[in-house]
Amino acid sequence: MGSMPVPDSGDDSERAITVLVTGFGPFQDRYPIIGYGSAIRVCYAEARELLPPLLEAYHKTIDLVLHIGMASGRQYYAAERYAHRSGYSKHRDLDGCIPSADETERDFGDCPDLMETSLDFENVVQQWQSTISDSPKTSPACGADCRPSENAGNFLCDFTYYNSMVWYGRRNKKLEGGANSDRPVIFFHVPAESDEAALEKGTAVATALIQAMVEDFVAHRSA
């Protein structure tokens, strides 16, 4: 979990905008990470059990959430706009399980099939891409291929994203539409590479996305 100081509306003081980040390697020292003792397994039940208490534990101190996962077969970085309630029957998790129709109805019967981040997605992506395109040649992010995506893949990444937005949507009573802060979550897919250069590049690209999220959040808060 990291924080960024930004000017608060109406005066010269600064308030730290805090971002909860899950799922991907080291960030710069100025973005401290709270880590778990062991990795989160790629299992639907464990993701469903983990996310509500995790978000509940931090909701008084965090403003934004960025989930990060790898996308096999993709050679570009993608910010995801939507998450799905159903459609998880094709890919079994590490325990060989998929969410049943009864489980989906029990857990998400009050929720729409497609949920969207409440952040201004197009604005976030535009700012993110602009930052990357303006990166100096010495930056690991220079030349990175960064794209918006409207299909998170109907697997654990998609499922995680949906769960987070459901938690926020229920808490703020805005499962659809609403204010910028009602479902302040984005999922970020990175290529399935893990060598040192890829980690440095991914860190720089993710940091740029976090900055774009923060800027969008603050702009709407100040409006």
User: Quick check: pTM over 0.85?
Assistant: yes
Confidence category of residue 74, pLDDT binned at 50, 70, 90: confident
Which residues fall within 8 angstroms of residue 219, CB to CB, at 6 or more apart? none
Supply the range of the domain harboring residue 120. 2-222
Please name the residue that has the structure tokens 């309630």.
85
3-state secondary structure string across 8-76: CCCCCCEEEEEEEEECCCCCCCCCCCCCCCCCCCCCHHHHHHHHHHHHHHHCCCCCEEEEEEEECCCCC
pLDDT tens sequence across 153-212: 999 999 999 999 999 999 999 999 999 999 999 999 999 887 899 889 999 999 999 999
Give the model's pLDDT for residue 42: 83
Among 94, 101, 116, 109, CA closest to 45: 94
Residue 72 has pLDDT above 90, yes or no: no
Sheet containing 185-191: which strands, arranged edge to edge? 2-7, 14-22, 64-71, 185-191, 77-80, 146-149
Residue 61 to residue 3: CA distance in whole angstroms: 10
Number of domains in the chain: 1
The SS3 call for residue 112 is: coil
- Element at 123 (helix H, strand E): helix 121-133
Q: Contact at 8 Å (CB) between 78 and 161?
A: no
Residue 27 in this model has a pLDDT that exceeds 50:
no
pLDDT(85) > 70? yes
pLDDT at 133 over 90: yes
Q: Are 100 and 209 in contact (CB under 8 A)?
A: no
What does pLDDT average to over the chain? Answer: 87
- CATH (domain of 159): 3.40.630.20
Q: What is the pLDDT of residue 165?
A: 97
| Mean pLDDT value across residues 44-72 | 91
Contacts with 56 (C-beta within 8 Å, 6 or more apart), sequence order: 167
**Rounded to 5 degrees, what are φ and ψ at 46?**
-70, -40
